[in-house]
Structure 1
């Protein structure tokens, strides 16, 4: 035992220096731990901000309920869009008109053919022929871009113009 005390006495400066360096290292570790703890506290405060004393489980459940509600609204809007899309495809979307002179003895291009088609090229070709003594207006149905009635050159032209018009 005296041997140990002699060794400690002769090397006391080194032992004190070693212990001081260990204390210094422990102090640095403690400071690092405090800095990390402070950052963690700030993150926790930011995470729990506006919770009104609710626990995290209640918060998550509230957000999941809001997500379910938003999904229901999104599904409703999608269904509504599909209905409106089907309805709009049946509306007149393409229009073309050709004016022409049907008779030589009539002054201006007072006769016309008008095509009104939906998205699927269904609709009508209307023609009005203006003459000095009489005027005639008639319509021919169009199904998928084809009329089952014989079309005049002007009607064929207006139908082709209408089918080839761009829908934006």
Structure 2
């Protein structure tokens, strides 16, 4: 133990200089770290201040509120869309028309048949027959693509054509 004490006292000046150098190096490292932390803290405060003086927390909460509102609006739009789909199934969606000459001795194609059907192939066929002395218009109901009345060739054609025009 005494030899250790002699060794320390012999190199006491060198050990003191090395210790002071280490303290100086550590002081420089602490100063550099303190500067870096201050710079990072300034950037963090600027970041947290956000845009227009709002902090990031307020901005994030505002964005989340908007997302919630959009979600509610989307749910409302889905309900409205389903209601429109239900109503649309009952609207006229399929049409067909054919013009023809009903009588050989009468001029051009002034007679017609029109099929007006919904998505379930329910609707009517309107037919107008043009003659030299008179014209007649009549309607025949269509239920699921079938008529309880006899159909002419032209009416069968427009019914088949309209039913083939599915959405």
Cα displacement (A) at 1:93: 1.8
Output the CA distance in 1 between the equivalents of 2:165 and 2:131.
Answer: 30
Q: Which residue of 2 aligns with 1:113?
A: 113
2:23, 2:45 → 1: CA distance? 32
C-alpha distance 11-70 of structure 1, shift in aligned 2 (>3 A): closer
Distance 1:112 1:53, change over 3 A: closer
> How much does 1:152 deviate?
1.3
SS in 1 for 2:11: helix
The structure-2 alpha-carbon separation of the partners of 1:10 and 1:127, relative to structure 1 and needing over 3 Å to count, comes to closer
Unaligned runs of 5+ in 1: none
Partner of 1:3: 7
Q: How many aligned residue pairs are there? A: 163
Cα distance change on mapping 1:23 and 1:11 into 2, 3 Å: closer
Question: Quick check: 1:126–1:140 contact (8 Å CA) kept in 2?
Answer: yes
Aligned counterpart, 1:93: 93
Q: How does 1:27-66 map to 2 (within 5 A)?
A: 27-28=28-29, 30-32=31-33, 34-35=35-36, 38-49=39-50, 56=57, 65-66=65-66
Report the Cα distance in structure 2 between the residues aligned to 1:144 and 1:34, rounded to whole angstroms.
83
Shift of 1:102: 0.8
Describe the superposition over 1:23-78 as per-residue Cα deviations: whole angstroms up to 9, x where unpaired: 4466346535643553354244323426978895x776665554444333322222
- Mapped contact 1:51–1:59 kept (Cα < 8 A): no
After superposition, the Cα gap between the structure-2 partners of 1:25 and 1:10, relative to the gap in structure 1 and judged at 3 Å, is closer
Distance 2:60 2:80 in 1: 30
SS class of match (1:3): helix
Q: Give the CA RMSD over aligned residues.
A: 3.3
Structure 2 unaligned blocks of 5 or more: none
Residue 152 of structure 2 aligns with which residue?
Answer: 152
TM-score between the two structures when normalised by the length of structure 1: 0.73
> What is the DSSP-based 3-state SS (H/G/I as helix, E as strand, rest coil) of the residue aligned with 1:125?
strand
Normalised to the residue count of structure 2, the TM-score between the two structures is 0.74
Counterpart Cα distance in 2 of 1:139 and 1:65: 56
